[in-house]
Amino acid sequence: MAGASAPTISCWTSFPAAPSEGLFLKVEIELKLAATPEVLERVLALPQLASLMRTPASESTLTSRYYDTPECALRHHGMALRLRLADGRWVQTLKSKGHVEAGLATRLELDLPSDGTTLDFSQVPDAALRAFLESPDVQPRLAHRFTTEFRRVAQRLDCPDGSVVELALDRGEVRAGPATAPIAEVELELLSGNPDRLQELGALLQQHLPLVPETVSKAERGYRLLPGCPAEI
């Protein structure tokens, strides 16, 4: 693709502490474990988790439409862009590819309210990133490439040291035209506190259930279904 050059994702760290109203930037730290639908049914019944579950679990259906250019320019530059419908509300999210270390994935995530039809980058605080996304080589060429749809059961876990973790059980599929791939995974996301708790909880779950580490994101699974999409960098 000629024309605009993408800023490095490290520029996201220059986002202001108090960005525009409605915009939400966070660092996402999570650990994923691949499962089967049958194993997912057993997770919340583990007695080892009982003392950490002080509030009821919630259930929701999450539908996400992922966008990119025909040659997958966003993916090439380490980004994923989606519109997600959850609880009747659309949210536009831009994620960095981030990095995975010892099973923990760390990514930057930028959320904006959306009408579910329009991609809007006007509130992206970083000027270089905004210029890339709004360039004529990118924004007019963005199209819906694939969809994820899954049912999520989310349970808050309150750890003894005060750390808070969301345990999410996701079951559904990724769709790109006629091609599909299943989603069946456990996601442990740090809401606050010490990232070591994710490792400990992951080890606990793997000790009692047939779960294995999963480092491929839902977005990457969608990209792998697209014919002719360049390999992940």
pLDDT digits (tens, 9 = 90+) for 98-133: 778 888 888 889 998 899 999 999 988 888 889 999
Q: Tell me, what's the pLDDT at 66?
A: 98
Q: Tell me, what's the pLDDT at 212?
A: 97
What band does 221 get if pLDDT is binned at 50, 70 and 90? very high
CATH number of 21-223: 2.40.320.10
Is 3 strand, coil or helix?
coil
Spatial neighbors of 160 by CB under 8 A, at least 6 apart, are none
Average pLDDT value for the chain:
89
Q: Tell me, what's the pLDDT at 96?
A: 86
Q: Tell me, what's the pLDDT at 33?
A: 98
pLDDT of residue 194 exceeding 60? yes
pLDDT of residue 160 exceeding 60? yes
Rounded to whole angstroms, what are the CA distances from 149 to 63, 72, 93, 163, 219?
4, 21, 16, 29, 12
Per-residue pLDDT, averaged over 81-98, amounts to: 91
Q: Tell me, what's the pLDDT at 232?
A: 63
Three state DSSP letters for 51-70: HHCCCCCEEEEEEEEEEECC
199-208 confidence digits (pLDDT tens): 999 999 999 9
Q: Tell me, what's the pLDDT at 103?
A: 81
Give the CA angle between residues 106, 34, 191 to the nearest 5°: 35
CA distance 3 to 136: 8
Q: Tell me, what's the pLDDT at 81?
A: 97
pLDDT of residue 179 exceeding 70? yes
- Percent of the residues in the chain that have a pLDDT greater than 90, as a whole number: 72
69-78 confidence digits (pLDDT tens): 999 999 998 8
DSSP string covering 122-167? TT-S-HHHHHHHHSTTTGGG-EEEEEEEEEEEEEEEE-TTS-EEEE
Q: Tell me, what's the pLDDT at 22?
A: 54
- Which residue's structure tokens are 């019944």? 45
Is 168 strand, coil or helix?
strand
Name which of 105-109, 143-147, 229-233 the model is least confident about: 229-233
- Quick check: 153 and 44 in contact, CB under 8 A? yes
- Which residue's structure tokens are 């409605």? 22
Domain definitions of the chain by residue range: 21-223
Spatial neighbors of 82 by CB under 8 A, at least 6 apart, are 64, 65, 66, 67, 92, 93, 95, 219
What band does 164 get if pLDDT is binned at 50, 70 and 90? very high
Q: Which two tokens stand for residue 74?
A: 């966003």
CB atoms near residue 227 (< 10 Å): 7
Q: Tell me, what's the pLDDT at 231?
A: 62
